[in-house]
Amino acid sequence: MPVNLEQERDDLEDMEPLAPEDELPTYRSNASHAQELLAHIMGEDPDGFDRGDINNDVPESLKALHPYAVTLGLSNLESCLKLEQATFPPELAGTREKFEYRLSKASELCFGLFTSADSSSADIHAETAATANPVNSHEPARKGILLGHIIATKSANELVQDEDMKLGNHNEAGRTLAVHSLAVLPDYQKRGIGRVLMKAYVQRMNESKIADRISILAFERLVPFYESLGFENRGKGGSRYGGEDWVNMVCTFPKSPPVQYGR
């Protein structure tokens, strides 16, 4: 489904260090690499990522969430559905069948931001808490609670089309990442989670070299948000998904320079 989220402007780059790696769920693929990327995006890498305008007013309650980002799979299905239903109206929310298909066929393209805080904490008010998986077997009360996700498949089209949003339309040979959903739980919006999640996603997909671009259908009011993340406004598209008018936003990855061989 297209993006339908009033995105936040605040960065989380002054957040405390992420959860230790031994606390990350073992059932998710590439968790270590994804965590490193999120730390890098949030300015925790001392080797040179430009932290830019660091927000020193991040509330303590958010710092205590110890967020981490990992790829998603079928084990996250119920949490993804809860998140989707809490964020979007029924006519825009993805169906169970679509999530099952996308999380099984394109799990490496789906990204989630979790909190590793104790699920019994009074500070955690998340619709996804009831469907969260334990972080490890030693602390059953400590679970990975999904706060935000990006769900995508591959397409042969440069811009997202209605056909790309249909069930069963993941094209492994495609070079476009068609984002169906960027969602953050309502109680956690306007805290920078969407920005951090998309930054980490763009960087990871760029480094993976599995696609040439990311393409999104977005509301016009969200165009400045995506432009601030390097997306280009390609104008209004022909899609009328959910009865809405959408703007095509595209982030094109830079091509690697040709290899120079010595004579």
Domain membership flag for residue 154 = yes
Domain membership flag for residue 145 = yes
The total number of structural domains in the chain stands at: 1
pLDDT higher than 70, residue 91: yes
Could you tell me the residue range of the domain that residue 225 belongs to? 58-252
Q: Which tokens sit at 30?
A: 């590439």
Residue 260 and residue 233 in contact, taking contact as beta carbons nearer than 8 Å: no
Query: What does the mean pLDDT of the chain come to?
Result: 77
pLDDT given at position 138: 78
Q: Which tokens sit at 216?
A: 């999104």
Measured CA to CA, the distance from residue 68 to residue 113 in angstroms comes to 6
Q: What is the mean pLDDT of residues 94-99?
A: 96
Which CATH number is 120's domain given?
Answer: 3.40.630.30
Q: Which tokens sit at 74?
A: 């079928």
Domain membership flag for residue 12 = no
pLDDT band at 13 (very low <50, low <70, confident <90, very high): very low
pLDDT given at position 261: 58
Domain membership flag for residue 149 = yes
Question: How large is the angle between the packed helices 193-208 and 31-41, nearest 10 degrees?
Answer: 120
Between these two residues, 90 and 21, which has the higher pLDDT value? 90
pLDDT band at 49 (very low <50, low <70, confident <90, very high): very low
Q: 3-class SS at 200?
A: helix
pTM for the full model? 0.76
Measured CA to CA, the distance from residue 73 to residue 105 in angstroms comes to 9
Domain membership flag for residue 43 = no
Q: Find the angle CA(189)-CA(191)-CA(192) to the nearest 5 degrees.
A: 100
Domain membership flag for residue 109 = yes
Residue 220 and residue 230 in contact, taking contact as beta carbons nearer than 8 Å: no
pLDDT higher than 80, residue 105: yes
Measured CA to CA, the distance from residue 50 to residue 40 in angstroms comes to 9
Domain membership flag for residue 70 = yes
pLDDT given at position 29: 41
Domain membership flag for residue 67 = yes
